[in-house]
Structure 1
Amino acid sequence: MAEFQEGAPCWVDAMFTDVEGAKEFYGDVLGWTFGEASTEYGNYTQAYSDGKAVAAVVPPMPGADAPSQWCLYFASSDAAATAEKIKAAGGDLMMEPMQVGSFGTMVIAKEPSGAVFGVWQPGDHRGFEKMGEAGSYAWAEVFTREPEKADGFLPQVFPYESQQMDPGDDPETAGMDFKVFSLGGTQNAVLGRMKMGDDFPPEIPPYIQVYFAVPNCDQAVEKTEARGGMLHFGPMDSPFGRFAALTDPQGAAFAVIDLETTVGEMPSFE
């Protein structure tokens, strides 16, 4: 499979107190199947779509009291060097570079406005085996109240170019502060950045919203609610697809998007 470019999203995982409940939920909503838990690595369990690795779930480490949340990892050819860039750019390391057997090396960090992310230097585990198709990772956005901090940080750590979206005259986008980070122009966009408005309760910290592709957004929302999850936004049509923002029954935020159902013209970027 193709190598991931430096700074490209390459993997997602999440900690769940109730791993079996998470497996049942995402198995229903996203159609995932799951491999055997790796007892050597904290019962880390990979999720598959059509037999291809797309994510992982893991129980919290003993004594940890972290909320359930999805963590997006960005590819790095040298995790230690990326960790130094993170510190130099004003970010915080939550986990120093740690080798995970022969699989690779990971870092967990927080960008200056507060969103948590991971860095992955691949070994035997390269990353996503499937992307941009139903049942797999599709897109991600940094949600932050201090966009200038995230905007200044990201290109110092990864080789990103950035483009600001022109909100235009559409009432749906009026006042929206949205930026796209790419690895060589908007045709290779890899990450969005959205300013959190007053519609976000103050207790919600900055975070990275991970989008998973689904064949039908509305059906995914129905399954989420039927299994005790919550709908927070949408379903909404867009030029990128029909999407909705959700939380699962354990409180982890995620979004679903039907990439085939597109409405409207693509926005322009400055």
Structure 2
Amino acid sequence: MTGILPGSPCWTQLSTTEPEAAKQFYGELFGWTAETDPDPQYGGYTVFSLAGAPAAAVAPLMNPQQPVQWQLSFAVTDTDATAEAAKQAGAQLWMGPMDVGGLGRWALLSDPTGAPFTLWQAREFSGFGVVGEPNAFGWIDLATRDLEAALAFYQAVFDWRVWPHPDYPMVGMADKMFGGMMEMGDAFPPGVPSHWTPYFWVADVDAAVNAAVKLGGEPAYGPADVEMENGPRIAVVKDPQGASFGLFTPRAG
């Protein structure tokens, strides 16, 4: 994935019980630096940067019932209009639309299969300043209880293009592929809801998993090679607070 088009992923944020621990874990794993906004209206919101470019963020939970997890934001030109279109397509609106200072306009929703996501209408802040290189964001993955419904929803709301595959259809905008979807099967316990997972590009998946474990993380899947043409090597890891994220290394050549 390169660039930010309307309808494409533009940001990813970790909501966690222990932001300071997260700063240390991800800082050491990816070489990110952390800068916390001093304005109290942003509640300790911290931007991770890679070589000075915004790469991701971490923030405290907004309420005790909120799960520890990575969330994905999708770029829109009009948050209010897109939120309404999403509702008409079966989404649940949880918060917003609302302004975030002068940075942008935001809304939190869940798709018809239950996966949460946010909308972001950029003003002063556009989102990723770096993507598609080592230690930066590069892919999104939806695990869903209803693959057909999820595909229909995101096509209707964001006009995503779908590259068909029987097990893992991939999605994107125009000729830019940026994610994939899979039906949740027996590998997922019944209580696990549909969810998006961000993937970060690393130079060596196996080494990154080992490093994450040494820092207190836990492997959840892989490392494993994706058995499709030009498939990458991937893994899913849980950080010390339990938030899952993906790692991948593109196949050489």
TM-score normalised over the length of structure 2: 0.93
Match of 1:178, SS state, is coil
What letter corresponds to residue 68 of structure 1 in structure 2? Answer: V
1:194-231 CA-to-partner distances (Å, cap 9, x unmatched) read 11111111121111011011122111101111122111
**What runs of 5+ residues in structure 1 fail to find an aligned partner?**
167-176, 264-270
Match of 1:204, SS state, is coil
What letter corresponds to residue 137 of structure 2 in structure 1? Answer: Y
5 Å-filtered alignment, 1:24-35, equals 24-35=24-35
Task: Measure, in 2, the Cα distance between the counterparts of 1:116 and 1:240.
Answer: 27
Report what 1:51 is aligned to: 52
Report what 2:118 is aligned to: 118
- Residue 243 (structure 2) pairs with residue 244 (structure 1): no
What's the C-alpha RMSD, in Å, of the aligned pairs? Answer: 1.6
Report what 2:91 is aligned to: 91
**What runs of 5+ residues in structure 2 fail to find an aligned partner?**
none
1:99-124 CA-to-partner distances (Å, cap 9, x unmatched) read 00110011111001111111100010
Task: Measure, in 2, the Cα distance between the counterparts of 1:214 and 1:191.
Answer: 17
Report what 1:195 is aligned to: 183
Task: Measure, in 2, the Cα distance between the counterparts of 1:121 and 1:251.
Answer: 29
Match of 1:35, SS state, is strand
Ranges of 4+ aligned residues in structure 1 off by more than 6 Å: none
Task: Quote the sequence identity (%).
Answer: 37
Shift of 1:37: 3.2
Match of 2:221 among 233, 236, 242: 233
Match of 2:193 among 184, 205, 212: 205
Shift of 1:82: 0.4
Q: 1:249 to 1:3 in 2, by over 3 A?
A: closer
Task: Measure, in 2, the Cα distance between the counterparts of 1:134 and 1:40.
Answer: 33
Report what 2:159 is aligned to: 159
Report what 1:132 is aligned to: 132
Task: Measure, in 2, the Cα distance between the counterparts of 1:244 and 1:164.
Answer: 23
Q: 1:123 to 1:3 in 2, by over 3 A?
A: farther
- Residue 214 (structure 2) pairs with residue 223 (structure 1): no
Report what 1:181 is aligned to: 171
Task: Measure, in 2, the Cα distance between the counterparts of 1:3 and 1:135.
Answer: 16
Match of 2:148, SS state, is helix
Question: Contact 1:10–1:127 at 8 Å: present in 2 too?
Answer: yes
Would you say how many aligned residue pairs link Structure 1 and Structure 2? 248
Shift of 1:64: 3.1
1:51-100 CA-to-partner distances (Å, cap 9, x unmatched) read 11011101123x43212100110000000000001100001011121100
What letter corresponds to residue 135 of structure 2 in structure 1? Answer: G
Shift of 1:152: 1.5
Question: Contact 2:71–2:197 at 8 Å: present in 1 too?
Answer: no
Report what 2:4 is aligned to: 4
Question: Contact 2:72–2:117 at 8 Å: present in 1 too?
Answer: yes
Moved more, 157-166 or 244-253: 157-166
